[in-house]
Structure 1
């Protein structure tokens, strides 16, 4: 069974790493006054339960925005990522917001829903009442990525927008150029190499270039491709170093040589796993278990096969060895 991509976790990381940029992009109607002076605080995701036997209701990312000079009252942004619009419940979202408003003693709540895909069935408003009166009216900000024209953000200085270019609306002919613009945004707007490596994976996951498209990208954008190669090499070095450090710690108890060998194997395993995901997409449980149990020699042989392989089967050999 293929490994499931956790879109929820991907977007939680994105929002928590870049809260200002996230609000400016996903909640533009309310984010006009959010400048460098404001403080943005992520709140606990699990709300207190009324009874111990009840299950927690989890929010995606509640962010409290406060203006130190007091010219605006604090705002609570409730951001929810929804991969499948059919599973979205406006009643559940309203319940979340009411609970938070009561818990934090505020009525200044801005619900924001980030939809990866579009659907005409997405409910946009909730109204409770009768033919005489409306007793509850609930609305939210919707960012439907698949319906957002990518052309508007190709040269945006908002990193969250640039990273989400692959999730926006574009034609198949634009795919490689969309990928290139996302990579360009990552390399120019994010100076931290650790985050560059982290969000290179984000772009790869949502663009899903095949081998032909990746070769086209490398020929059309050689400078960015070279920079990416440097990131991958940095990732390889760090993976091996991290594995060696772990192995050396274990080696204090098991013998230094054995520990270092184990660390090297763990580093090679981590690197090969990342490269396989980038090339062929998420790995199923069987492949992950196979990598975890492989010897250093097997990992090295599979890494060499990966250079020319067109499929996972070719990486691991026709006979499964």
Structure 2
């Protein structure tokens, strides 16, 4: 396994893919499912129903998928006041994927008693895997779901056209394909990502759309630290040329804060397991998810959360010590968190 392989997105269906799908759902439908898009009356808007979707599928096994969504729309025909569209963006081959689509479809129909359109975007690397139906026929009873499928690999011959397309999901698709093409070549990944970022800034899009699409590019096209720093220098130059200071100022700081939150979430997962191994795994997972430059601050947040779980709210003096400590101090304190009988014992005062 190469260094770049470890930087590819982890199993995570609540990804920037999901945010873009929900925020730009009409464009998503127009790009991937144009025939269905043409049958929807977009003047009525649309509504995402993620809470309802989670309630229906909460007990299902989840594979590596980048996004899912349940969206309420109105048809042009007027035959139904509204229908529901269930979308799955699947990140890898899954043996039971077609059956899962079938199961979700009938569960959603049972829940809403409205027509359910199930659509799939396959973002895996297996050109021969194209599930598009599931059902059974027994004793004269036939039950079958056929669902439209889009395979991102099919867009590979159109890469140049994708990068110049006005639809945001054309750029998303191009980024996905470039990510797979460069998965064993960090330098090529850097060049491809730099090109896509430059094209992104040339689009006549508003700030929020550029930030949303940049989040997807950044999430997909992971780079080793050295090339990542080089890319940020390139982005600063691009923003200077275009006079659009979108990513390199406040938004980058917000990204770092989000990564710190990843550390905290990882620690909480470990603590909830209630065992030392779980806490240690939580620390490792949290730090891996964090990927932050401020290593000291990240470690301080980890220890602060652990101490709060054990001893309750910390006094200001304890928090001040954590956030001004050296690496050696933090490492010694975290070793004591599990066994120390008191807060003072953690800090070595007694």
Is 2:173 aligned against 1:168? no
Alignment-derived partner of residue 342 in structure 2: none
**Contact kept? 1:46, 1:57, Cα under 8 Å:** no
Match of 1:305 in 2: none
Deviation of 1:185 (Å) = 3.4
2:160 counterpart of 1:151: yes
Report SS of the residue matched to 1:123.
coil
Within 5 Å, which residues of 2 pair with 1:34-45? 34=40, 36-43=42-49, 44-45=52-53
- Between the aligned partners of 1:124 and 1:104, the Cα distance in structure 2 is 23
For normalisation by structure 2, the TM-score amounts to: 0.57
Contact 1:116 1:145 in 2 (8 A): yes
Match of 1:94 among 83, 92, 102: 102
Counterpart position of 1:309 = none
1:66 maps to 2:74: yes
- Give structure 2 stretches of 5+ with no counterpart: 1-5, 183-187, 262-285, 301-322, 328-350
RMSD: 4.4
User: Could you tell me how far 1:61 is from its partner in structure 2?
Assistant: 0.6
| Alignment-derived partner of residue 131 in structure 2 | 123
In the alignment, what sits opposite 2:25? 19
Shift of 1:100: 1.2
Q: Which has the higher helix share?
A: 2
How many residues of Structure 1 are paired with residues of Structure 2 in the alignment? 256
CA distance in 2, matches of 1:220, 1:88: 42
1:176 Cα deviation from its structure 2 partner: 2.9
In structure 1, runs of 5+ residues without a counterpart are 240-266, 275-281, 300-321
| C-alpha contact 1:217 1:225 (8 A) present in aligned 2 | no
Aligned partners of 1:159, 1:21: CA distance in 2, in Å? 7
Pairs within 5 Å for 1:1-321: 5=10, 7-10=12-15, 11-34=17-40, 36-43=42-49, 44-47=52-55, 55=59, 60-67=68-75, 70=78, 74-107=82-115, 109-119=116-126, 120-129=128-137, 135-149=142-156, 150-168=159-177, 172=182, 176-177=191-192, 179-181=194-196, 183-185=198-200, 188-193=203-208, 196-210=210-224, 211=226, 215=230, 223=238, 231-236=247-252, 239=254, 270=257, 284=288, 290-294=296-300, 295=323
